[in-house]
Structure 1
Amino acid sequence: MGTLLSFKEKRREKQLTYERKMLREISLTEIKKTILNYFNEFFQSRTISKAAIEEGCIDFAVEAFLLGAKFSRFGYYGESMQMVAYRCRHEEKLLTDDFFDYMLHWGKVNDDPMINESLMIACECYIQQWWKEGYTKGEKRYKLRLQ
């Protein structure tokens, strides 16, 4: 006889399967290019190596990508991207704040408020870009019925 799974375990298993499928859609070279586009100017004059913060940037890009892919289901069912972004604004804000704290801690950015504010804007744009990327690829998978 088969094993019994609770509803939570089955839902978690299904979520992990979907995330594994979505991770096939993301490229590590794309992530590294966006890291250079968004954060190269903040760390050019610093003695810290880019490899020290690159790993965290990759983790946060993957998290934002998966968050967008998770919420793409609502776009498939007719909501606009703006409505879906509003729906997950809390999770996205938490992710952005965590990323900003990570960049402040490991990036050793100065205490200059102007630099910190521009870093915060860069972090928000970075997370939003990867959220949108996950959203569009997830919506595409739903339309092709590949979920």
Structure 2
Amino acid sequence: MNEIISLKQKRHQKQLKYERKMLKELSLVEIQAKIEDCFGSFINKRKIKDTSTEDGCVDFAIEAFLLGAKYSKFGYYGESMQSANRRCRYEEKQLIDDLYDYFVHWGEFGSQEMLLESIYYACEYYVQSWWKAGFIKGEKRYKLRLH
């Protein structure tokens, strides 16, 4: 006898399967290089707990990458990257704000306004670059019919 699965469960299973496939496209070395590129100057200036900060940045990179991959289907159907990015503006903004809060919390930066602003822009660049990478790789998988 067959088990009855709701449509919501089926969609969730399909989404998890797609995310697992997309995560195979991601490299930890690549993420660590991007962390050093974006946040290296802040990490070296302050005595930040490197492992906890790096772990958080890895998590946010994965989330932004998967968000871009999720919206890559719109690019496959002819929508521009900017237009697809506007669709997920709220989720992307939430990721940027959460990464900023996480980074400032572990960084002990005080209230140096210029430094905090620089950190926010670095977080914004970091999340947007991973979103873009996920979008491009996801779009490529759709074009190759590997989704």
Instruction: Indicate the TM-score class for this superposition, using the shorter chain for normalisation.
Output: over 0.9
Residues 20-78 of structure 1: per-residue CA shift (max 9 Å, x gap): 00000000000000000000111212222322200000000000000000000000000
Q: Tell me the distance in 2 between the aligned counterparts of 1:105 and 1:113.
A: 15
| Runs of 4+, deviation exceeding 6 Å | none
Which residue of the partner structure matches residue 93 of structure 2?
Answer: 93
Q: Which moved more, 1:36-45 or 1:72-81?
A: 36-45
Which residue of the partner structure matches residue 83 of structure 2?
Answer: 83
Q: Tell me the distance in 2 between the aligned counterparts of 1:83 and 1:18.
A: 22
- For 1:40, give the aligned amino acid: G
Q: Which moved more, 1:104-113 or 1:74-83?
A: 104-113
The answer to whether the 8 A contact 2:49-2:106 is kept is no
Q: Percent identical across equivalent pairs?
A: 57
- For 1:27, give the aligned amino acid: S
Count of residues in Structure 1 that have an aligned counterpart in Structure 2 = 147
- 1:9 Cα deviation after fit: 0.3
The answer to whether the 8 A contact 2:64-2:92 is kept is yes
- For 1:123, give the aligned amino acid: C
Which residue of the partner structure matches residue 47 of structure 2?
Answer: 47
3-state SS of 2:145 partner: coil
5+ unaligned residues in a row in structure 2: which ranges?
none
Q: Tell me the distance in 1 between the aligned counterparts of 2:86 and 2:45.
A: 37
Q: Tell me the distance in 2 between the aligned counterparts of 1:136 and 1:114.
A: 33
- For 1:4, give the aligned amino acid: I
Q: 2:20 aligned with 1:20, yes or no?
A: yes
- Alpha-carbon RMSD across the aligned residues, in angstroms, is 0.8
TM-score calculated relative to the size of structure 2:
0.97
Q: Tell me the distance in 2 between the aligned counterparts of 1:78 and 1:2.
A: 39
Which residue of the partner structure matches residue 4 of structure 1?
Answer: 4
Which residue of the partner structure matches residue 126 of structure 1?
Answer: 126
Which residue of the partner structure matches residue 71 of structure 1?
Answer: 71
- For 1:12, give the aligned amino acid: H
Which residue of the partner structure matches residue 117 of structure 1?
Answer: 117
Which residue of the partner structure matches residue 144 of structure 1?
Answer: 144
Q: Tell me the distance in 2 between the aligned counterparts of 1:48 and 1:101.
A: 14
- For 1:130, give the aligned amino acid: W
